[in-house]
Chains A and B, each alone.
Chain A
Amino acid sequence: MLSPDSLKRIDREIAKYPAGRAQSAVIAALAIAQDEKGWLSTETIDFVASYLSLPSILVYEVATFYEMYNMRPVGNKITICTNLPCALHGAAQAAVHLKQSLGIDFDETTADGSFTLKQGECFGACGDAPVLLVDNKRLCSWMSNDKIDELIAELRAKAN
């Protein structure tokens, strides 16, 4: 089950498509579900499927195909683009700094569950390198080590 607010947002997405094409809203609907729940459990996926009157398998296929869905619980998710243009402009060092500061590797979550680190592919924002994304939504540009430290401190403070 999702909150009335999430359902309203999903309805808005469905309205973007012609009548009978609610499947088109599935990518947005899963993103909205993830906003609320933090990750996509089987129950959440089933719920989205029934809300859009789709077979669960279709929705599950989408959830597993697109990289930004969390198929497991995550902490504050930090995704850093390490693709070549970014790597050439400081992202390689920034990735090392992130790993050291959090004490985890890519695709890992800290023991207290507060941070998850991901390696991303090109965001289409290479001019902002090193560039990272917090919880899919917040793009942080030109992330020097100092700015990374500030960001981590800020996210930690918010969690407490």
Chain B
Amino acid sequence: MNARSEFIDYGPEAIILAGLTGRNWRLADYVARGGYEALKKILTEKTPPQAIIAELKKSALRGRGGAGFPTGLKWSFVPQQYSGDKYLVCNSDEGEPGTFKDRDILRYNPHVLIEGMAIAAYAMGCRRGYNYIHGEIWDTYERCEEALEEAYQARYLCDNILGSGFSFHLYNQHGFGAYICGEETALLESLEGKKGLPRYKPPFPASYGLYGKPTTINNTETFAAVPWIINRGGEAFLNLGRPNNGGTKIFSVSGDVERPGNAKLLEMAGGMRAGRKLKACIPGGSSMPVLPGEAMMQTDMDYDSIAKAGSMLGSGGVIVMDETRCMVRSLLRVSYFYFEESCGQCTPCREGTGWLWRVLNRIEHGEGRNGDLELLTSVSDNIAGRTICALGDAAALPVKSFIKHFRDEFQYHIDHKRCLVPDYV
């Protein structure tokens, strides 16, 4: 394993992670970088909330949590005239295998999230917010607690912020080891102190969210892009990206690369490990379809281009697999994850994820039967679209795509009771 230091520079095109050194996360550092200017600006100019939402729409910012839903549109769903409690929630429950960008935002630039959330709260009239942080990154949770403390002290969070009459209070809650709580309605259940069982939709959180009140949930990276958009304008953000895909997107590159990290592209991850050839790549976290290496090298990394290539950008977790990797074994591990993390509420998912794993397990261990590939496809088809939340689809998509692109390799396992690429560890 190559030695590496903790912090990686994010490169000249970074927005949210620009100018960071790994140590300059405190309030004073953030303010020195121009932080909290966007919040001050809207509060002193008394920008109408509608104008902020319009700016977000113009920016074409799409949710960074996986589904790529247009953020401005989502914000416009919250009933403006509703005068009761409304909540703002940040989804920092990052646990999509291959995705590790939110942790870097939270630990290296926590105030950009706080500022982004305060602006969002102003735009939607929320007085209270929660940042739900993945349980396994405890040190990051503690840092976020410290950052909140700083923001309260400086009165960027309080009643009547900067004398504007606008009040916002933000709190951190940590999870405790449940991938499903990344699903937004499971997250709300967890915030209410319950098991993380996704809710039926509709009603959507915009009308019935936390404690049954109108609620907006966005991913960490989504909120973190907001101050930049307010400072420089939606148009400038849009121009950084591609039409309909505004701004820059952080990619997390993991697997068979020299130096996993949050980078713009493969080169920045140091290239393929040991100079090997790219065999397969999952471009958007393990819930998304796998692509063969050649297809991957020919596509642009935006939501629409990846969709055209047959996968999804998802959370931006790029999992790289080189020519020495066995596709059966890789898929087996992915399937185990969904089996383990299914909340058990819906029968197709609860039973189907276990079934997929057991069939893949027997193929991997030389006990595959003819017809198993058809069985896997049929079980997948009977999960997808038949569950309350998208975990079912997330379990089915990898199976279908691995078999589609690497069918020969799976068939070889069944026919020869062994692996095509034996030296996988």
Footprint of B on A, CB under 8 Å?
16-18, 21, 23-28, 30-31, 58, 61-62, 65-69, 79, 82-90, 92-93, 120-129, 133, 136-139, 141-142, 144
Contacts and interface: CB of A to CB of B under 8 A. Distances in A.
Given A68-B176, A84-B333, A127-B261, A93 B425 contact: yes
B292 interface: no
Contact of B333 (A23, A67, A82): A82
B333 A28 contact: no
A125 B97 contact: no
Given A67-B177, A121-B95, 12 more contacts: A18-B128, A23-B192, A25-B193, A66-B178, A68-B135, A84-B333, A85-B98, A120-B136, A122-B96, A122-B97, A124-B136, A126-B260
Contacts of A133: 136
Contacts of B94: 124
A65 B196 contact: yes
Contacts of A85: 97-98, 254-255, 260, 286, 317, 319
B260 A26 contact: no
Instruction: For chain B, give the interface size range.
Output: 35 or more
A31 B319 CA distance: 32
Given A84-B319, A84-B330, A124-B100, A18 B176 contact: no
A92 B425 contact: yes
21 contacts: A16-B173, A21-B192, A24-B191, A28-B173, A65-B178, A67-B176, A83-B97, A120-B136, A122-B286, A122-B337, A124-B94, A125-B137, A126-B98, A126-B254, A127-B100, A127-B253, A129-B254, A136-B135, A137-B138, A138-B138, A139-B139
Contacts of A88: 254-256, 319-321, 325, 330
B286 A84 contact: yes
B99 A124 contact: yes
A128 B5 CA distance: 10
Nearest to B128: A18
Given A65-B196, A126-B317, A84 B98 contact: yes
Given A85-B98, A85-B319, A127 B135 contact: no
A9 to B, nearest CB: 12
B262 interface: yes
Contacts of B1: 90, 142, 144
